[in-house]
Structure formats: C-alpha cells, structure tokens
Amino acid sequence: MKYFAKIVCIVVALSPVAAQADDVTDTLESAITAYGEGDLKYALEELEYAKQLIQSQNTASLAKFLPDAPDGWSREISTEMTAGMGFLGGGAGAEATYTMGSDSFSIVIMADNPMVGALAGMMGNAGLLGMKLQRVGRMKYLDQDGELSGVINNRILIQAEGAASDVMIPVLETIDIKALSDYGN
C-alpha cells in the first residue's frame, strides 16, 4: 500500500503543476487517501479521473497548433474528440471547422493514438499501393478522394477534409510542423 502512495507522490512532485494546487493534484491526493483507507475502487476511480483531467490539458495544448482561419473564413475549435478517443486506443485530439458561407472544411490533429501508427505504415508504402501523395511544405499527405492525411514522427496525425485540396493546402501550410513534432516531449 505504501508503495502505491510513494509512486503517486513522486509523480505529483515531479510534475510541473505540483507547485500549485489544482484539480489534478487534488484528485491524485484523493486517490492516495482512498488507497490508504483500503477503498481500492474509489482510488481507481480517482486515478481515472486524474487521467481524464491531464488528457484535457494535453488536448488544449494540442489545439493551439490548429491554424487560424484564412481571410474571409471563420474557425471554430472543438476539443471534444478526446473524450471518445478512449474507444480508439487513447491519445489526444483537437479539431477546427473552417466556414465561409455554405462552404466548410475541417482539420483534425490527433496524437499518440495507435491508429496513427497504422496510417504511418500505410503512407510509407503509398506508392507501392497506388495511392496518391500530395506534398505540403516539407510534409507528404495521403490524398484519398480529397481527404488529406499526414503523419509526423509516426505519432501525430493531421487530417483535412471537406473542401477542395487547393482550399485546404494553404491552411495546412501554416501549421508549425517543427513545433508540433515536439508536442508532448
């Protein structure tokens, strides 16, 4: 029992948010207390809730990489997709919808999800599989009937869909790929 509490305390102490009380540290402390009292079920619930809180913070930091709307367009950011990512193997994700009149398209950024690794493998063999690739800046995007999908470091997916490629590519070009490649490190 003491081993569990020590591990959680070390994780909390080493985290950059340990200096300030917040929902995550409060929840981790609640988990330690419940564990110390022998309430394993509640301790696990608290740990799961702390994990969700941290994932929300992670998602918010991922959303900052979504490009601004081009001139004449509006952008609406949604970070709700992370809640459903548990069904897809985990990770974080953020999405922006770009709208101008009746035209719209979306850009999704997803990180640390097993499906991203699978897509990366497929992209590596795209030419052999007869798939079309588009170069956007220094990245290659798989073009599947107007849906553009690019992968950074085999762990971060950028996906754009809903408009013509010539509308979406200039927006994709504004993503800071170098900074995004360092996401979560």
Q: What would the pLDDT profile of 117-163 be if each residue is shown by its tens digit?
A: 777 777 777 766 777 888 898 888 988 888 999 999 888 999 999 99
Residues 15 and 89 in one domain: no
End-of-domain residue from the set 61, 85, 104: 61
Residues 174 and 109 in one domain: yes
CB contact set of 32 (below 8 Å; sequence gap of 6+): 4, 5, 8, 9, 43
Residues 175 and 86 in one domain: yes
Q: What would the pLDDT profile of 9-57 be if each residue is shown by its tens digit?
A: 444 444 444 444 588 899 999 999 999 999 989 999 888 888 777 766 7
End-of-domain residue from the set 45, 61, 77: 61
Please tell me whether the overall predicted TM-score, pTM, comes out greater than 0.95 for this model: no
Domain, as residue range, for 51: 2-61
Q: How many domains does the chain have?
A: 2
Beta bridge partners of 157: 110, 151
